[in-house]
Amino acid sequence: MTDARIRTRHSEERETTDERGRLDCPECGGHVITDEAQGETVCSDCGLVVEADSVDRGPEWRAFDAKEKNQKSRVGAPTTNTMHDKGLSTNIDWRDKDAYGKSLSSRQRQKMQRLRKWNERFRTRDSKERNLKQALGEIDRMASALGLPENVREMASVIYRRALDEDLLPGRSIEGVSTACVYAAARQAGVPRSLDEIADVSRVEKSEVARTYRYVVRELNLEVKPADPESYVPRFASSLDLSDEAEHRARALLQNAKEKGVHSGKSPVGLAAAAVYAAALLTNEKTTQAAVSEVADISEVTIRNRYHELLEAEESLGLA
DNA sequence: ATGGTTTTTACTGCGTC
DNA sequence: GACGCGGTAAAAACCAT
């Protein structure tokens, strides 16, 4: 049952944004292009400025002449934590072609074979490197299975690296720790996945993930605030094809609940699910408790209980 | 280990299409 | 009659101690 559910969940999430996470213009549906120098994201069809004042990723220095530019430029491929060597090591192409695309002589080919072999051996020389390589593969696999964006993978990788550096691994499985890292990264990035969802795509038990996660958080002094119910709302709402208005409504419900302190000790997922359901009701959109329960992985009973509490909180607001 | 709290499971009754 | 919804009781899971 879990497998099927995971698969559908993915395909649904894929539909909303394309592979690169590029968005369509909310106004006319046209393509949106980003002008880094201007710091604007505009629609190429209707000219709507989708996002202004974005980050300028240009150099942080200024050069006043050619010589200075040469000195200040620090060029090269960007480093990434998602590769075990940060993408910095030598790569030897597998094709037996030289730089001009011409085939190599058989003598040269043999030489290249040897070089490749040794290069590979050096690259993954010690156990830590091999460990990392495997873990990063796992992180990547799980992250894409959960539809998590690139930056979360990056964060998970960083956390894993730290865990490795602090010798947190001995006695713990690579699987478990990488899973915990993904969980932590997703939460820190504000796109949390529930422990259940994580455990579904991991090769280890939920209990172990939880245990390892606590351990890693404690040892690395990671600051992970309790998940904000609101951060689940967009995902649930879009899985259920609800309007933006309903989504907004759900958020409002949650914020009010927060002020009333109704939510202490309750599972954030349950609260979010209830808010989404209640919002759908208030905006007259058809959804069932069963449907919400399905996408949120929470029981209908819990949704009922929570959404009563949410509505109560809302009403007492009106009276006061 | 224990006790208190929350969530889940399972079941039942009610109204509507 | 199936479906959506609400409620309840008991079991299970979780958490702090």
Residue pLDDT, tens place only, A59-78 = 666 666 666 666 666 666 66
Residue A183 three-state SS: helix
Residue pLDDT, tens place only, A217-244 = 888 988 888 888 899 999 999 988 889 9
Distance from first CA to last CA of chain A, Å, rounded? 47
> Which segment of A23-32, A108-117, A281-290 scores lowest on mean pLDDT?
A23-32
Average pLDDT over residues A164-172: 87
Split at pLDDT 50, 70, 90, the class of A179 is very high
Answer with the residue of higher pLDDT: A74 or A167: A167
Please give the protein residue whose CA is closest to the C1' of the nucleotide C4.
A288
Please give the protein residue whose CA is closest to the C1' of the nucleotide C8.
A301
Q: Write down the pLDDT at residue A33.
A: 64
Q: Write down the pLDDT at residue A140.
A: 94
Q: Write down the pLDDT at residue A148.
A: 93
Find all residues with CB under 8 Å of A44, minimum gap 6, and list them.
A30, A31, A32, A33
Split at pLDDT 50, 70, 90, the class of A86 is confident
Residue pLDDT, tens place only, A282-306 = 888 888 999 999 889 999 999 999 9
Where in the sequence of chain A do the CATH 1.10.472.10 domains occur?
A: 127-220, 229-319
CA of A293 to C1' of C6 (A): 16
Where in the sequence of chain A do the CATH 2.20.25 domains occur?
A: 3-51
Q: Write down the pLDDT at residue A142.
A: 94
CA of A233 to C1' of B11 (A): 31
SS3 string of A96-139? CECCCCCECCHHHHHHHHHHHHHHHHHHCCCHHHHHHHHHHHHH
Average pLDDT over residues A264-270: 84
The highest-level CATH class for domain A229-319 is mainly alpha
A224 beta carbon < 7 A from strand C?
Answer: no
Identify the residues numbered 287 to 316 in chain A whose C-beta atom is closer than 7 Å to any atom of strand C.
287-290, 301, 304, 308
Q: Which CATH architecture has domain A127-220?
A: Orthogonal Bundle (1.10)
Give me the count of residues in chain A.
320
Count other C-beta atoms under 10 Å from residue A86's C-beta.
Answer: 14
Cα(A230)–Cα(A269) distance, rounded to whole angstroms? 9
List of protein residues whose beta carbon is under 7 A from strand B = A 265-267, 270, 297-302, 305-306
Answer with the residue of higher pLDDT: A50 or A78: A78
- Alpha helix locations (H) across chain A? 2-16, 66-72, 106-123, 127-145, 150-165, 174-188, 195-201, 206-220, 233-239, 244-260, 268-282, 289-296, 300-319
Q: For the full predicted model, state whether its pTM sits above 0.75.
A: no
Tell me which of 2.20.25, 1.10.3470, 2.60.40, 2.60.120 is the CATH number of domain A3-51. 2.20.25
* Percent of chain A surpassing pLDDT 90: 26
Q: Is the dihedral of CA A239, A240, A244, A247 positive or negative?
A: negative
Which bases of strand B have any atom within 7 Å of the beta carbon of a protein residue?
5-10
Residue A39 has pLDDT above 60, yes or no: no
